[in-house]
Amino acid sequence: MKEKKFDNLIVQLFESRKELGDAAGKAVIEKINALLLVKASIRMIFAAAPSQNELLAYLVAHKTEVEWGRVTAFHMDEYIGLENNSDQLFSSFLNQKLFDHLPFKEVHLIDSNKQNETDRYTSLIRENIIDIVCLGIGENGHIAFNDPPVADFNDPETVKIVELDEACRNQQVNDGCFATFNDVPEQAITLTIPALFSADFLFCVVPGPTKRNAVKQTLRDNISESCPATILRSHASCILYVDVESYPL
């Protein structure tokens, strides 16, 4: 593992996706356990994407190392317009990869087919602080579904409905989540950047060659909404995990 710092952002480089995921998973578990020494319970937000597979697999494989009954879980975004039982929902992805395998205190899923869901989920997020966010970066530099056209570092909202830009919808095809561009929903519900950024600790997992340009922009561009992930360089405690395929320098 090699380490470098860009502004506040710590970047750790690994030879493979598995090494990356294992290291991130170990760090997340260590942080959970450190927090549970001083808090009765904690609250976490998880990303849903193939880029998170190795991290999620590590957490499940090492589930006995954490008192998951003291952890409340959220996820950061969800498509609008899919059937409630669709495998392509992010809630379905996280159920299959994580939530069904660990005995969380509570799991709060976004139901994008409910009326006033942004209000309901906003209330849940605002009930208490968020301790940890496990996130990734999109091919267009998005965080959650805060694509460049809709990203706002000073967003007054906590949860909002957004239009997905073309690059974002193409990524869902590149990731193998949808067969064609037209299959990808045009709208989604997302936590905003301030909502995610409010967490005390961010663990950002970004493997693979399709993320190379996004990582380069995140580390080298000016901090602005044109590449939303650049804001990670100003967080007080964020680690970016990359592999030799995603690290551009």
Reported as half-sphere exposure (CB side, CA atoms, 13 A), residue 177 has a value of 23
| Sequence-ordered strand ranges (E) for 18-95 | 42-46, 71-75, 77-80
> Above 90 in pLDDT, residue 172?
no
pLDDT tens figures, 184-227: 889 999 999 999 999 999 999 999 999 999 999 999 999 999 99
Q: Residues 41-98: pLDDT tens digits? A: 999 999 999 999 999 999 999 999 999 999 999 999 999 999 888 999 999 999 999 9
Q: What does the alpha-carbon distance between residue 94 and residue 79 come to, in Å, rounded to a whole number?
A: 14
Domain range summary for the chain, segments of one domain joined by +: 2-243
Fold for the domain defined by 2-243: Rossmann fold (3.40.50)
pLDDT band at 175 (very low <50, low <70, confident <90, very high): confident
What is the pLDDT of the chain when averaged over all its residues?
Answer: 96
Mean pLDDT over 100-123 rounds to 96
Q: How many other CB atoms are there within 10 angstroms of residue 81's CB atom? A: 12
Query: Who's near 222: CB < 8 A, 6+ residues apart?
Result: 230
Beta bridge partners of 42: 71
What confidence score (pLDDT) does residue 85 get? 83
